Amino acid sequence: MEPFKPEDEALKASRPANDSSDEDATENTSTGEAAGNERLGVYWEAPIPAEQCSAYGMREYHAKLKNLPFFSNGMDVCQNTPIEIHGQSFASPDRCDRRWRLGMVTGYWKVRNQQDCSPQWGRFSQGCIAKGIRLIEAPLPGVTAAEGGFQICTTAPATIKGWRYDHPKSCKERGWFSKLYGQWEVGDPSC
């Protein structure tokens, strides 16, 4: 795989600017460690998106840490090497992973505001299901259970009759194509 190039605007490494001070690379502040990582030439490969969304508007990305010195603590270097993904800066990954003692170190980030992970609810339908309770449901177009759609459905917000809901009460799969529907139970004295 070709190393990541800072010229790529969508996915670029967010390395601190080199300064001419004699700051020790092993300084305990994250800025000092990040600057030390820069001097060592450590950088992230181009981040790779996960195939499925991890939640509404969110996708996880991962990247391998490159140019890691042999005797360095890869996990510490990982936690102190910043990156920029789609205009969002991260001082450190959400988590770091090393498969074996001398293996490659991989960082993982949950990136928000991913448009392809932000579908809009379809037409809302409703009906009374019990005294004082109305069931409102809507399809989530373009999202199926087979594509990991439950993670999106269970975290997708909606505004129903002027009330904002952070997520549906439940998500149900229906039909031949595993279409997902969000369901909300709301109080309604007319039921």
Q: What is the largest CA-CA distance in the chain?
A: 73
Is the domain of 44 the same as that of 99?
yes
89 burial via Cβ count (<10 Å: 0-12, 13-18, 19+): exposed
Predicted pLDDT at 24: 38
The parts of the chain modelled with pLDDT lower than 50 are 1-31
Give the domain-ending residue among 91, 115, 139: 115
Give the domain-ending residue among 67, 98, 115: 115
Is the domain of 72 the same as that of 150?
no
- The answer to whether position 32 is within a domain reads yes
Taking the whole predicted model, whether its pTM rises above 0.75 is answered as no
Predicted pLDDT at 7: 36
Predicted pLDDT at 38: 64
Predicted pLDDT at 4: 37
Is the domain of 25 the same as that of 110?
yes
Sheet with strand 88-90: strands edge to edge:
11-12, 83-85, 88-90
Give the C-alpha distances (Å, rounded to integers) separating 56 from 27, 41, 150, 161.
Answer: 38, 36, 10, 21
- The answer to whether position 6 is within a domain reads no
Is the domain of 41 the same as that of 82?
yes
- The answer to whether position 2 is within a domain reads no
Is the domain of 106 the same as that of 133?
no
Is the domain of 110 the same as that of 172?
no
Predicted pLDDT at 23: 37
Domain of residue 173, residue span: 119-187
Q: Tens of pLDDT along 83-137?
A: 999 999 999 999 999 877 767 899 999 999 998 888 999 999 999 999 999 999 9
Is the domain of 104 the same as that of 141?
no
Residues 187 and 136: their CA atoms lie apart, in Å, by 11
Locate 77 and state its tokens. Answer: 């270097």
Give the domain-ending residue among 94, 115, 136: 115
Is the domain of 111 the same as that of 125?
no
- The answer to whether position 71 is within a domain reads yes
